[in-house]
């Protein structure tokens, strides 16, 4: 008997939960100052996220999926992308979207129930909006990656998905095509250990989710998803390789969903508080603060200023969101087709005139 194929899945971590360096730091991270923008972005994201939850609790935002605990994955991945690359998010990728230029107001508008939230008037004009049907964004990513390859563009499609999403056919079909056609598609699995109430252990019999890449002919690796350095490093390597024509990759970032699935979910129904408390000890922001503080790159004043600034900026965005008037009912008919078909004119008229509608 001969072994015709075998695989290895590597795991990388550079900063441990206490902020101590555990391996040789990659080039870009040697200067602690390089982590400052990343740290700021993570703190800003968390401030925004907490505020969004608070808005929902006070009836001013609809159902919202908190990204608490996953800030390093989003910031790390997005920071490794270039403006011309395209992000295909799930619905819990606020950290990546904010880095990419989606405004806080837009995110609030979307979860506040206003379709203008997906208009992305700022940067990243080709980024896809958040995706609700789990895993379906993987197909869009691989289609875009094909577009990039067909045109010989040095651009990469970056797709974020969760551990649950890797169970779907969409994911398998996407990585399969990426492998079959050597496409510049990088798949980031933010494995936060929970798909609503289903733990990772019940989601798949595979030892790692990263190894699903092997079945598609793609490289796969695991990183500590709460280590901003490890995430950024892995994302850079994969994205740069894809950009250079080296094909796609799958990165499994191990993290934890510290909040509920959504603001209407109550995670206590299916997981123990003690488990969550333990996970708080591994969270991504504290370790970077500690590292930077020890390295002399971050002071108390810096922290205070950062908290105050991000709070103020988030509050300003909230004010702007709350002041935004709803669209008129006729907006339902906008952008349905390039040109609204004649047969819908009467309906649009009715919607414009109707006061109130269904209670």
Q: Tell me which stretch binds other proteins (CB under 8 A): 30-38, 186-194, 237-245, 264-272.
A: 264-272
Give yes or no for a contact between 40 and 308, defined as CB atoms under 8 angstroms apart: no
Q: How many residues bind other proteins (CB under 8 A)?
A: 77
336 is a contact residue toward other proteins (CB under 8 A): yes
Q: Tell me which stretch binds other proteins (CB under 8 A): 21-29, 228-236, 245-253, 260-268.
A: 260-268
Give yes or no for a contact between 316 and 334, defined as CB atoms under 8 angstroms apart: no
Return the residue of 72, 95, 148, 189 that touches other proteins, per CB under 8 A: 148
Helix 71-79 vs helix 36-57: crossing angle, to nearest 10: 130
Between 33 and 312, CB nearer to other proteins: 312
Return the residue of 1, 3, 323, 338 that touches other proteins, per CB under 8 A: 338
Give yes or no for a contact between 78 and 99, defined as CB atoms under 8 angstroms apart: yes
SS3 for 113? coil
Dihedral angle at the C-alpha atoms of 90, 8, 180, 134, nearest 10 degrees?
-20
Element (H, E) at 304: helix 300-323
Strand 10-12 versus strand 194-195 pairing type = unpaired
How many Cα atoms are found within 13 Å in the side-chain-facing hemisphere of 262?
Answer: 9
Return the residue of 207, 337, 356, 357 that touches other proteins, per CB under 8 A: 337
187 is a contact residue toward other proteins (CB under 8 A): no
**Which of the following is catalytic: 12, 257, 287, 289?**
257
Return the residue of 182, 241, 262, 324 that touches other proteins, per CB under 8 A: 262
Tell which positions 271-310 bind other proteins, by CB under 8 A: 273-274, 276-277, 280-281, 286, 300, 303-304, 307-308, 310
- Phi-psi domain of 266 (left: phi exceeds 0; alpha: psi -120 through 50; beta: other): beta
139 is a contact residue toward other proteins (CB under 8 A): yes
Identify whether 236 is a catalytic site residue: no
Give yes or no for a contact between 164 and 134, defined as CB atoms under 8 angstroms apart: yes
Identify whether 321 is a catalytic site residue: no
| Residues contacting residue 188 through CB under 8 Å, at least 6 positions apart | 73, 77, 158, 159, 160, 161, 235, 251, 253
- φ and ψ at 35, to 5 degrees? -85, -10
Least Cα distance to 88 among 19, 151, 134 occurs for 134
Strand 185-191 versus strand 194-195 pairing type = unpaired
Between 65 and 220, CB nearer to other proteins: 65
Identify whether 257 is a catalytic site residue: yes
311 is a contact residue toward other proteins (CB under 8 A): yes
81 is a contact residue toward other proteins (CB under 8 A): no
182 is a contact residue toward other proteins (CB under 8 A): no
Q: Shortest gap between Cβ of 62 and other proteins (angstroms)?
A: 7
Give yes or no for a contact between 184 and 148, defined as CB atoms under 8 angstroms apart: yes
Between 36 and 119, CB nearer to other proteins: 119
Q: Shortest gap between Cβ of 221 and other proteins (angstroms)?
A: 24
217 is a contact residue toward other proteins (CB under 8 A): no
Tell which positions 100-129 bind other proteins, by CB under 8 A: 115-116, 118-120, 125-126, 128-129
Instruction: Please tell me the distance from the alpha carbon of residue 27 to that of residue 319, in angstroms, as a whole number.
Output: 41
String of contacts with other proteins for each residue 13-52, x by CB under 8 A: ---------------------------------xx--x--
Instruction: Please tell me the distance from the alpha carbon of residue 48 to that of residue 349, in angstroms, as a whole number.
Output: 39
Q: Shortest gap between Cβ of 10 and other proteins (angstroms)?
A: 28
**Which of the following is catalytic: 270, 278, 305, 335?**
270
**Which of the following is catalytic: 92, 237, 261, 287?**
261
260 is a contact residue toward other proteins (CB under 8 A): yes
Residues serving a catalytic function are: 257, 261, 270
């Amino acid at each position: 008997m001969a072994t015709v194929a075998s695989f290895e899945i590597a795991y990388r971590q550079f900063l441990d939960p206490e902020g101590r360096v555990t391996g040789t730091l990659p080039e870009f991270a040697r200067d602690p100052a390089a982590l400052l923008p990343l740290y700021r972005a993570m703190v800003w994201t968390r401030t925004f996220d907490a505020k969004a939850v608070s808005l929902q609790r006070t009836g001013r935002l609809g159902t919202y999926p908190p990204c608490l605990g996953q800030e390093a994955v989003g910031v790390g991945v997005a920071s490794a992308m270039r403006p011309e690359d395209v992000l295909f998010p799930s619905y819990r990728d606020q950290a990546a979207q904010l880095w990419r230029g989606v405004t806080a107001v837009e995110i609030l508008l979307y979860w506040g129930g206003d379709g203008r939230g997906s208009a992305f008037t700022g940067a990243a004009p080709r980024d896809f909006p958040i995706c609700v049907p789990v895993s379906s964004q993987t197909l869009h990513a691989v289609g875009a990656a094909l577009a990039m390859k067909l045109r010989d563009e040095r651009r990469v499609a970056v797709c974020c998905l969760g551990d649950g999403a890797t169970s779907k056919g969409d994911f398998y079909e996407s990585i399969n095509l990426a492998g079959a056609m050597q496409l510049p598609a990088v798949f980031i699995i933010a494995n936060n250990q929970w798909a609503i109430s289903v733990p990772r252990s019940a989601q798949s019999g595979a030892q790692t989710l990263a190894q699903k890449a092997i079945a598609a002919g793609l490289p796969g690796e695991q990183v500590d998803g709460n280590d901003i350095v490890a995430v950024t490093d892995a994302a850079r390597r994969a994205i740069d390789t894809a950009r250079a024509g080296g094909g796609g990759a799958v990165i499994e970032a191990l993290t934890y969903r510290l909040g509920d699935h959504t603001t209407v979910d109550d995670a206590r129904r299916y997981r123990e508080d003690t488990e969550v408390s333990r996970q708080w000890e591994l969270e991504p922001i504290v370790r970077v603060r500690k590292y930077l503080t020890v390295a002399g790159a971050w002071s108390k004043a810096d922290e205070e200023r950062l908290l105050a600034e991000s709070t103020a900026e988030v509050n300003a965005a909230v004010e702007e969101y709350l002041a935004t008037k709803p669209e008129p009912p006729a907006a339902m008919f906008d952008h349905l087709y390039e040109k609204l078909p004649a047969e819908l004119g009467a309906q649009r008229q009715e919607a414009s005139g109707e006061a109130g509608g269904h209670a």
